[in-house]
Chain A
Amino acid sequence: MDETLKAWFAREIIAHEEALVRYLERHWPNRDEILDLRQEVYIRVYETAATNRPLAPKAFLFATARHLLIDRVRRRKVVSIEAVGDLESLNVLVDELSPEHRLHARQELRRLTGAFDDLPPRCREAVWMRRVDELPLQEIAHRLGITVKVVEKHITLGMRRLADTMFGTRRSNIKQIEGAEPDRETEHGKP
């Protein structure tokens, strides 16, 4: 793997995942296909960038998403053009649809802790013991009283969930951790 291409991809493309997923959701009727579309967009962008690195990565990312949606509509007659709406509406100014989403280091850390706290309890424990305490899987299994296989399941699930929440595909409780929102308990807890 080309290391600088990798770094470029993480920094310039994955950084816009939240806006990308929102864009796809807005223009594609079938929710189940959003993640496959996201993957397809990433593949196209990555393959292009491997030979010719785009100068405006964000604009290129959204142009790629738009072309993909148009291709899909044309190829698969099942999805009516109506459902997707006017194809021209896909042609939005990139900066309008996605205000700069790069985060400051501090916000990134908040996002990380929010994503981590959002993991299911067991999964959260296993991830912490692996990533922070760097315990071997056998040791984690022993401490949690589960098999190594299950520990692996928890951690791989944790990796995927962390990526989804940190990069913005999963909305989860991100809002809550920004600190602006009142505590859920007090808001909904009492009649």
Chain B
Amino acid sequence: MESHKEIEEHAAQWLLRREAADWSAADESELASWIAASTAHEVAFIRLEAAWVEARRLKALGAGGQVGVVPPPGLWHASSFFPERSETENLLRNTRARRVRAFAAAVCIVLTVVVASYFSFSSNSERYATPIGGVSIVPLQDGSHVTLNTASEVRIDLTSRERHIRLEKGEAFFEVAKDPARPFVVQVGSKRVIAVGTQFSVRRNGDDICIAVSEGKVRVEDASASLQSGPERREPGGKLRSMPVDNAQSPAATAGRHSGQVFVAAGAIARTTDDGIVVQENALPEVEDSLSWRSGYLVFRDAVLAAAIIEFNRYNERKIVIEDPEVAALRVSGKFRSTNFEAFVRLLEEGFAVRARAADGHIILGSSRR
């Protein structure tokens, strides 16, 4: 009989092999038969996998760091990286934005896990919130993970029938564990985004929401039924689908429409307003860009500066204001640390006819020509 140690070593090798780029269907079935060969294999594999999945959370701590540079041991324990409970509770009560503290230089993302009673057995909803500039990963009991972006808040309610997440404000990325018996529902206002085993982000700005799907498929429903009334339109390029409420607006194609629901597949971005929903398909690069916040970055591709500044302002207490329309219309591209707006402003000054000055706790961007 194999010893416990041998089994564990094999399980670890399988786990590692499975991550390889050349992992094939044949490998998959070989793994399946190794697991099926004995419960000892299966149990060892589940156990190591659970730890390895958990270890993925190190990513949140490494966000923004340089690839290949391993932080020194003890970094996370020496500092106030893990806030005390009372402090986090204060944060929950005090919804007003709080100043982000500067931690160790290597760690640029403040990870503040705000915990109500996480492991309560009842289905009381639990609230999690992040301060401005914070990113936080919340593991759920079902194996799913919710990553909260800056200044965001969710209520989580896991019941036997449904996994219900209410996005109160901000943005969150969801990695959903498969459980067909319990749909995973993200509620934003009257809209419900429903997934079974997938990865997607939902961002809320007032009542408008933006959904980016990186894996699988989600379904969007609207309790106020506005999504149900409109036909769907396919743009000539085949890239945009929209569902305006107004029936008369576009009686064209209705292919792919499902009564009362809109499906958003991997690589698509959906934006909804009270007037309907627009789906941009085949937008994988944009989806990836829109998810780069999870590693502490903002990515712009030929974006209008005004829009880029709105993004930066989400992550920083100190807001940037543009006073010159010409400056606002500048176009920028690149990848920037979301909390390092100083560097961004410096780059603007160097690269464009832009002059920045501080006033009133804001940073005012004007033209250097006037």
Chain A residues within 8 Å of B, Cβ to Cβ? 1, 3-4, 6-7, 9-11, 14, 35-36, 38-39, 42-43, 46-47, 102, 104-106, 108-110, 112-114, 116-117, 124-125, 127-133, 135-137, 143, 152, 155-157, 159-160, 162-163, 166-167, 177, 179
Contact = CB atoms under 8 A, between A and B. Distances in A.
Closest A-B pairs by Cβ, 6 of them? A163-B51, A156-B12, A10-B50, A132-B62, A117-B73, A159-B12
Given A112-B58, A116-B58, A159-B16, 10 more contacts: A1-B32, A1-B35, A7-B142, A7-B177, A105-B115, A109-B113, A112-B55, A113-B58, A156-B12, A179-B77
A127 B54 CA distance: 13
A39 B43 contact: yes
B104 interface: no
B97 to A, nearest CB: 21
A4 B179 CA distance: 7
B347 interface: no
Given A43-B43, A113-B58, A152 B50 contact: no
B51 A11 contact: no
Nearest to A161: B51
Contacts of B8: 160
B76 A113 contact: yes
Contacts of A179: 77
A177 B75 CA distance: 11
Interface in B32-88: 32, 35, 39-40, 42-44, 46-48, 50-52, 54-59, 61-62, 67-68, 70-71, 73-74, 76-77, 82-83, 85, 88
Contact of B50 (A14, A35, A109, A155): A14
A162 B15 CA distance: 14
A109 B55 CA distance: 9
B46 A117 contact: no
Contacts of B285: none
B199 to A, nearest CB: 15
B62 A133 contact: yes
A3 B77 contact: no
B263 interface: no
Among B16, B51, B58, B85, find the residue whose CB has the most chain A CB atoms closer than 10 A. Answer: B51
Contacts of A1: 32, 35, 42, 46
Nearest to B35: A1
A108 B141 CA distance: 13
B9 interface: yes
Contact of B59 (A39, A43, A117, A131): A131
B33 to A, nearest CB: 12
A105 B13 contact: no
B93 interface: no
B357 interface: no
Contact of A104 (B3, B4, B119): B119
Contacts of B234: none
Given A43-B39, A160-B12, A163-B50, A128 B44 contact: no
A42 B47 contact: yes
B21 interface: yes
A40 to B, nearest CB: 8
Nearest to A126: B70
Contacts of B179: 3-4, 7
Contacts of A104: 115, 118-119
Contact of A105 (B35, B40, B118): B118
B43 A42 contact: yes
B54 A166 contact: yes
B55 A131 contact: yes
Contact of A47 (B39, B118, B138): B39
B51 A117 contact: no
B139 interface: yes
Given A9-B46, A43-B39, A135 B77 contact: no
